[in-house]
Chains A and B, each alone.
Chain A
Amino acid sequence: MENNQTSILILDDEPIVSKRLRPSLEKKGYKVEAFTTSKEALERIEEHEFDIVVTDLKMEGVDGMQFLTLVKEKYPDTEVIVITGFATMATAKESFTKGVFDFLAKPFKLGEIAEVIARAEAKRKRN
């Protein structure tokens, strides 16, 4: 049963983001792991492939753009969704060039990201 669950990694240095997202996604049946530092998230990525990665961009150390680049290099089929409080056209373009599935500017409603995750999950299952 557990193996059929879609796995999601959330990386955002603001704990409140995961605090909001995690229970809502778990309620929908996703297996969610949340991190507030890219260092810890990278360590986890080294040992496990996630179906979907949701990442912030502006972070200390390895930033979100570097993080998603590393994720896509290691696991090209993982769908990456960018969430950012400091959105620019340039970062949106760069994200899509690197193959992200979608780009969401904060604030957003839980329903909005849930809908994007559902589309990413459907794409992942088709491929």
Chain B
Amino acid sequence: MKILVALDTEDYSNKILKNVARLAGNTLADIIFLGIQEGTEKLAGPLADTMLKYQQDLASCFNREESPYADFDAEQWQEKQPGDWYMASRGMKEFTLRIRSGSIVKEVLSVARETECDLIILGCNGTAGCEWNGEWNVPLRIAEGGPCSVLVIKDVKRVKQIVSILDQSTVSQEAMELINQLVTLNDSGLNIVGVKGKNERKETEIEQRIVDLLRYYNDRKISTWIKLINSDDVQDYVTGASVDATVALWMGGKQSLLKKIFSRTMVEKLLETSGSSLLILR
């Protein structure tokens, strides 16, 4: 598993590090910390210093002997190409610091594709659909253009419930595996919510699908509840659930009913009001 963590010097970035460390410790993932700066001429000191501090903060979450990541003591920033700096260490797993110049969304997407990461994680200030350094709706725009799922962490608390909203379209194996890792990480229950559309045949399909999923999770001894709701009720349901649960929203397929229901504005609103975290699945 490879995780790309988009970071800046704001408090919401600092706050997510403990969650990232817990996920990294559980999954022994390769980690990439990515910071974005303006201007390509030289590396910005404050951001470079902050990225190193974040690396040290993450390292401090592990016992030295047990850490999957090697120290960065002897490493220096290297310029890969103009406006692209990196520093990497290889222990049992790889830890890379990157700083790129340019637009946040564009650079995050570029690094996500280049590194073939499995998950993008970022924090969020909770206003204007998550504003990052003057750019609005950053998580949603990353999720829309990204090659993988995006986890937006709003609150560092351990959630008791993961609410996974599925529609009739086929959910990718990668998406299900990410939900599994989050359930394991939080030792939480899983609430699978199937959304019924107007089409009776597809209603049967979604019923069958969530029953199959219930059987899958029961076999693996994961506490799971299933529920079917009408598409008309889904917005209210998700808004209510997002107060204290991590909501996993499948927005991947072109035929996705949820993609039709959850307008861009609705997801932006969710990002503003959610009390926990939002996993936008691809």
- What residues of chain A have their CB less than 8 Å away from a CB belonging to chain B? 14, 16, 58, 60, 85-89, 92-93, 102-109, 111-112
**Inter-chain contact B180/A108, CB cutoff 8 Å:** no
Q: Which 5 A-B pairs have the closest CB atoms?
A: A105-B27, A107-B174, A106-B177, A85-B180, A105-B1
Report Cα–Cα, A102/B219, bound state, in Å. 26
Cα distance A82–B116 in the bound complex, in angstroms: 21
Instruction: Please tell me if the beta carbons of A107 and B219 are within 8 angstroms of each other in the complex.
Output: no
Closest residue of B by beta carbon distance from A58: B220
Tell me if A89 and B2 are in contact (CB < 8 A). Answer: no
A14 to B28, CA, bound (A): 22
Cβ-defined contact, B28 with A109, below 8 A: no
Q: Across the interface, do B181 and A92 meet the contact criterion of CB distance under 8 Å?
A: no
B184 near A88: Cβ-Cβ < 8 Å: yes
Q: For residue B26, which residues in chain A have a CB less than 8 angstroms away from its CB?
A: 87-89, 92, 105
B197 at the interface (CB under 8 A from A): no
Contact with A along B105-149 (1 / 0, CB 8 A): 000000000001010000000000000000000000000000000
Q: Is the CB of A92 within 8 A of B28?
A: yes
Let me know if B118 and A108 touch, CB within 8 A.
yes
Is A85's CB under 8 angstroms from B116's CB?
no
**Is there contact, CB below 8 Å, between A105 and B181?**
yes
In the complex the two chains form, is B177's CB within 8 Å of A107's CB? yes
- Per the 8 Å Cβ criterion, residues 59-117 of B in contact with A are 66, 92, 116
Q: Is B178 an interface residue (CB 8 A)?
A: yes
Q: Which residues of B contact A105 (CB under 8 A)?
A: 1, 26-29, 181
Minimum distance in angstroms from B3 CB to a CB of chain A? 10
- Asked if residues A108 and B1 are in contact (CB atoms below 8 Å), the reply is yes
